[in-house]
Amino acid sequence: MSDPKIEGFELEKGFRGMAKDTGSDQTMFKGVHWGKAMMWIFLLSDTFVFSCFLIAYMKGRASTPVEWPNPSEVFALDAFGVPVPLLLIALMTFVLITSSGTMALAVKYGYERNRKMCGYLILATALGGLTFVGMQAYEWSKLIHEGVRPWENPFGAAQFGSFFFMITGFHGTHVSIGVIFLFIYCYKVFAGHYDEGKRGWFTKMKGDYVEVEILGLYWHFVDLVWVFIFAFFYLW
Amino acid sequence: MEETKKKEDQSSTHKIGIYLWIWGLLFVLSFFSYLVDWYQFQGMLRWSLILFFMFLKAGLIMAFFMHLYWERYALVNVLLWPMTAIVCFVALMVAEGKYTLFSRLFYFFVGG
């Protein structure tokens, strides 16, 4: 995970180390599993996709002369008859952060080869993700009942709906895919595939707990994107 | 033998305390950013607080949950420098958005 030791070489730290790693005529990311590097590259490209959506939303919101719907009223939820602003969104945020924390611990216990703890924590992460998707489905159906459409809504600027469904929908898709993979990896951990080094699908690579970390990177990224959506779409 | 093995294990994984700390901090920061809306802060104060808590949360997640703090610079720099392109794109689109708003107001309401 950190400070790889290659026999006979002492790897330098910092920018000097970076220059040496890059110019070593060898693998550039020293001590980084190729699957992890590829996941990072994928996440980088995904960052650009989400950025494009959020920038489009910024531009759309900044360029309309019609008033933008007030998110703390649109997303308010009645709790015991009192409208609480952003209640559901706050709960969704807390659920997602909780699942992110359990995932981080799952990675830790995975590297410690603690099969049971790792498996249970991945299961908890998957259940958290499932709760999040459920809450999002509820949020969508509530707004659709209130008449929000991609082309119109009763609250203000017509662009609101298309940005809302596009951005939260794309994020929800990521969460859903993550949940599916979390359940698969939960099974693989409990079945001991990473202890025995059992091969996965489509690959000759032997199973290892580094795969849990790679899955964890994806899951934390989903949480990371939500941080930005929460700030720009719901709070701004 | 046993001791060296234990040492190796510790160097490849991090203590549980750091994860719990970051986890707690994320909860607290989320709560604070929710309070920004709760107290209905407006204007510059609202926007700067939202951005501050957002970047703090994003940084904590990337640095510790995604282990970027412990990765070698070769990987960290490959991942973080492309973000400057996004910043440029944001700057361009802010200017473009202002221009679009101006021309809409000018032609729709003033009539050209």
Contact A62 B98 (CB under 8 A): yes
- Contact present, A60 and A145 (Cβ < 8 Å): no
B109 and B56, same structural domain? no
Res A4: pLDDT: 62
Confidence of residue B11 (pLDDT cuts 50, 70, 90): very low
**CA pair distance A134, B100, nearest whole angstrom:** 38
Bigger pLDDT: A154 vs A8: A154
Contact A104 B89 (CB under 8 A): no
B86 and B68, same structural domain? no
**CA pair distance B12, A225, nearest whole angstrom:** 28
Q: Which of A139, A208, A141, A136 is nearest to A179 (CA)?
A: A136
Chain A interface mutation, best of B8, B25, B37, highest count of A Cβ atoms under 10 Å: B37
* A178 torsion bin: left (phi>0), alpha (psi -120 to 50), beta (else): alpha
Question: Considering only alpha carbons, which residue of chain A is nearest residue B73?
Answer: A18
Res B12: pLDDT: 56
B103 and B65, same structural domain? no
Q: Long-range pairs for A68-75 at CB < 8 Å and ≥24 separation? A: A68/A156, A68/A157, A68/A160, A69/A153, A69/A155, A69/A156, A69/A157, A69/A160, A70/A155, A70/A156, A71/A233, A71/A234, A71/A235, A71/A236, A72/B37, A72/B40, A73/A155, A74/A143, A74/A155, A75/A139, A75/A234
B12 and B36, same structural domain? yes
B53 and B101, same structural domain? no
Q: How many residues does chain A have?
A: 236
Phi, psi of B10 (to 5 degrees): -70, -30
B60 and B86, same structural domain? no
Contact B61 A14 (CB under 8 A): no
User: Which domains does chain A carry?
Assistant: 1-31 (no CATH), 33-235 (1.20.120.80)
Domain for residue B32, yes or no?
yes
Domain for residue B77, yes or no?
no
B58 and B11, same structural domain? yes
Domain for residue B55, yes or no?
yes
Confidence of residue B4 (pLDDT cuts 50, 70, 90): very low
pLDDT at A99 over 50: yes
B50 and B31, same structural domain? yes
Average pLDDT over residues A94-123: 94
Structurally, how many domains does chain B consist of? 2
Contact B108 A65 (CB under 8 A): yes
In Å, the largest CA–CA distance within chain A is: 70
B11, B70, B73: residue with CB nearest A18: B73
As given in the structure block, the two tokens for residue A15 are 């920018």
Domain for residue B31, yes or no?
yes
Residue B10: how many CB atoms within 10 A of its CB? 11
Contact B37 A62 (CB under 8 A): no
Question: What domain range is B41 assigned to?
Answer: 2-72
Task: For CA atoms A192, A196, A197, A198, give the dihedral sign.
Answer: negative
B100 and B58, same structural domain? no
Q: How far is CA A177 from the centre of its chain?
A: 10
Q: How far is CA A148 from the centre of its chain?
A: 26
**CA pair distance A117, A95, nearest whole angstrom:** 20
B19, B100, B108: residue with CB nearest A63: B100
B22, B50, B70: residue with CB nearest A236: B50
* Beta-carbon pairs below 8 A across chains A and B: 162
Fill in the DSSP letter of residue B107. Answer: I
B55 and B8, same structural domain? yes
Confidence of residue A134 (pLDDT cuts 50, 70, 90): very high
B65 and B31, same structural domain? yes
Strands, E assignment, chain A = 77-79, 82-84
Q: Which whole-number Å values give the CA distances from B68 to A34, A63, A120, A152, A176, in the listed order?
A: 16, 37, 25, 42, 25
Confidence of residue A9 (pLDDT cuts 50, 70, 90): low
The 10s digit of each residue's pLDDT in A41-65 is 999 999 999 999 999 999 999 999 8
Domain for residue B57, yes or no?
yes
Domain for residue B9, yes or no?
yes
Contact B58 A1 (CB under 8 A): no
The 10s digit of each residue's pLDDT in B17-63 is 899 999 999 999 999 999 998 888 888 999 999 999 999 999 999 99
Confidence of residue A219 (pLDDT cuts 50, 70, 90): very high
B63 and B45, same structural domain? yes
Residues with Cβ < 8 Å from B2, sequence gap 6 or more? none
Contact B19 A101 (CB under 8 A): yes
A4, A15, A59: residue with CB nearest B93: A59
Contact A97 B23 (CB under 8 A): yes
